[in-house]
Structure 1
Amino acid sequence: MDRVSELARTKAAVIFTKSSCCMCHSIKTLFYDLGASPAVYELDREPRGKEMESALQKLGCNPTFPAVFIGGTYVGSAKDVLGAHLDGSLRDMLIEAKAIWF
């Protein structure tokens, strides 16, 4: 769990994904379209990916993928991120965390 928490704080925006997950791809694309360059960890390609997935579940990430952190804080999964994008708060969170500049 320490590794996941540490990685979540490494950059302003962090996304834990699986390479085969279509929603993960959509969320990554959304962040890139907004001008953010998130740290992306594809856990099915990480040596300790199963342990990290378990740690995400213990942190309350449900569903586990994608798990989005902005400014070191867990934002949620695809549904939560898309909701925040629709109400305009995602952009504000990214600006506040200095993941994008305007």
Structure 2
Amino acid sequence: MAEAINRLASQKGVVIFSNSSCCMCYAVKILFLELRVNPMVHEIDLDPEGREIEKALLRMGLSTAVPAVFIGGKSIGSTHEVMALHLSGSLVQMLKPYQNMS
């Protein structure tokens, strides 16, 4: 399953594994949209293999299974890590190649 996650995480510059009813997932998705990034969102609760994906994300060392954020195919972490990167100014730098110029 880790291979499948890595394959999905590499399909687009920014990928978020999410749960459609998770408020923290929603907050992270809104943050990326406000930063002019349109991530690929994979709602694992709507995926028949969602439980296996969730277990695999946890085995990858994430503190929580969702939201799981990947930038450039690399795991960035969950809400805590994303917000820490954002507050330090690092997240915007990481997202520059993926921002929609409008």
1:58 maps to what in 2? 59
2:5 maps to what in 1? 4
Structure 2: gaps of 5 or more residues: none
Q: Which amino acid aligns with 1:80?
A: E
Normalised to the residue count of structure 1, the TM-score between the two structures is: 0.93
CA distance in 2: counterparts of 1:68 and 1:11, whole angstroms: 12
1:18 deviates by 0.6
1:99 maps to what in 2? 98
Aligned-pair Cα RMSD in Å:
1.1
CA distance in 2: counterparts of 1:88 and 1:47, whole angstroms: 37
- Bigger drift between 10-19 and 57-66 goes to 57-66
What SS does structure 2 have at the residue aligned with 1:35?
coil
* Contact 2:12–2:40, Cα closer than 8 Å, also in 1: yes
What SS does structure 1 have at the residue aligned with 2:16?
strand
Q: Are residue 49 (structure 1) and residue 54 (structure 2) matched? A: no
2:21 maps to what in 1? 20
Percent of residue pairs identical: 44
CA distance in 2: counterparts of 1:6 and 1:62, whole angstroms: 21
Structure 1 segments, 4+ long, off by >2 Å, are none
1:64 deviates by 1.2
